[in-house]
Amino acid sequence: MKNVVVVGSQWGDEGKGKIVDWLSSEADVVIRFQGGHNAGHTLVINGVTYKLRLLPSGIVRKNKISIIGNGVVVDPWALLDEIDEIKSKGVDVNEKNLIISESANLILPFHREMDEIREDAAGKAKIGTTRRGIGPAYEDKVGRRSIRLMDLISEKNLDNRLEVVLMHHNAIRRGLGKEIYNKDKLKEDLIDLAPKILKYSKPVWKKIDEFKANGKKILFEGAQGILLDVDHGTYPFVTSSNTVASAAATGSGCGPGSINYVLGITKAYTTRVGEGPFPTELKDKIGEELGTRGKEFGTVTSRKRRCGWFDGVLVRQTIKISGINGIALTKLDVLDNLEEIKMCIAYELDGKKLDYLPAAVDDQLRVKPIYKNFDGWKSSTMGIKKFDDLPKNAKKYVLEVEKFIETKISSISTSPERNDTILIEDPFNI
């Protein structure tokens, strides 16, 4: 029995949905441990498309338990809408197959408004957030003024907690010339929805301990990518949570010894949504072709993704930071038509060669990629299920990627379809 953590090794959007769906079919329990409804996974099962934002991927499969951990920030209205949406497609969601940590922090309407106010006021310094209130909610969590799911149990306690958090937010709103936020209507709305969401509330750490004792296979499902980690990413153009694998333990309530294998999802090229450094970005016809063939639009926001060559330096760096044991290489088929393919193997900064991305954002914006060139294979890899059946130049590219990043490629995705995968190593059965 192994417990597996899935994380994105780039800036997110690496194709985690398909891989997590495959792994969730083997797992007994699937846990979301960070982020909010700013990151989405798209699953296609038996011809039905499911776009999940807060709900773990296991929710669409029978006899699986899905958990939203304490590390997730939860917009209760968005969650209830998502549950209704999933139910409308024939998926049963109930207190037995969905558990939400009683310690999860809530995203409230004034968080969304603060997100928008800040982004609009930032001008050229904007981060490129999804404007869903994620950052302000995490700020309140760290500032110890947040409303948690358990606070909905007592009306008196909820009233006190709202006084505390709105004292902070209204002071900022006044300073920015915005109307103060009224507590009474929000309190009324929260009391109204409380029974609908509290029925899923449990002490998640205790449930995980029970699952481990009973030998259940647990899949920890990360959102976004390591390069968006608030500590290890391209700060300040990052998300507001830790997206590295070790966050799975903190964000769910179990020790690091509960993690047996870390799988990094890695796109065969590189994409990024929003602002911030992107050393290998292509602003030419090749970049457009990658975006078109790869259908590079966000699941949650539909924003067009920036595209570029595979950055081996960055992926090798995130592998070491997050302790990744194996890589699931996705979207190899998107490269099928290219005459030449490039991989970044180093950077140049002020005449010096670097084998890592420096921490300072000014340096990150100025580094120039040093590439290794590969001949394209100019033939279809779509649907191939055996490594030996790949075109010669495709095999060469994959093996060179594996050698450079110093980590085994455990699977290769050759189309969006779940079964179109070259499986080299199963994380649950090693």
At residue 124, what are phi and psi to the nearest 5 degrees?
Answer: -70, -15
- Three-state DSSP class for 106? strand
Q: Which residue is catalytic, options 21, 37, 41, 115?
A: 41
Enter the tokens of residue 166.
């709105």
Rounded distance between C-alpha atoms, residue 92 and residue 88, angstroms = 9
What letter represents residue 6's amino acid? Answer: V
First vs last C-alpha separation in the chain: 9
Tracing tokens 């899923």 back to the chain, one arrives at 200
Is residue 270 within 8 Å of 280, Cβ to Cβ? yes
Does 209 participate in catalysis according to the annotation? no
At residue 68, what are phi and psi to the nearest 5 degrees?
Answer: -105, 110
Rounded distance between C-alpha atoms, residue 27 and residue 30, angstroms = 7
Nearest Cα residue to 273 out of 309, 293, 297:
297
Tracing tokens 């009233």 back to the chain, one arrives at 159
- Count Cα atoms within 13 angstroms, Cβ side, for 70: 18
According to DSSP, residue 178 is labeled P
Q: Which residue is catalytic, options 13, 115, 140, 151?
A: 13
Enter the tokens of residue 326.
């194996």
Does 13 participate in catalysis according to the annotation? yes
Enter the tokens of residue 149.
């799911």
Which residues are tagged catalytic?
13, 41
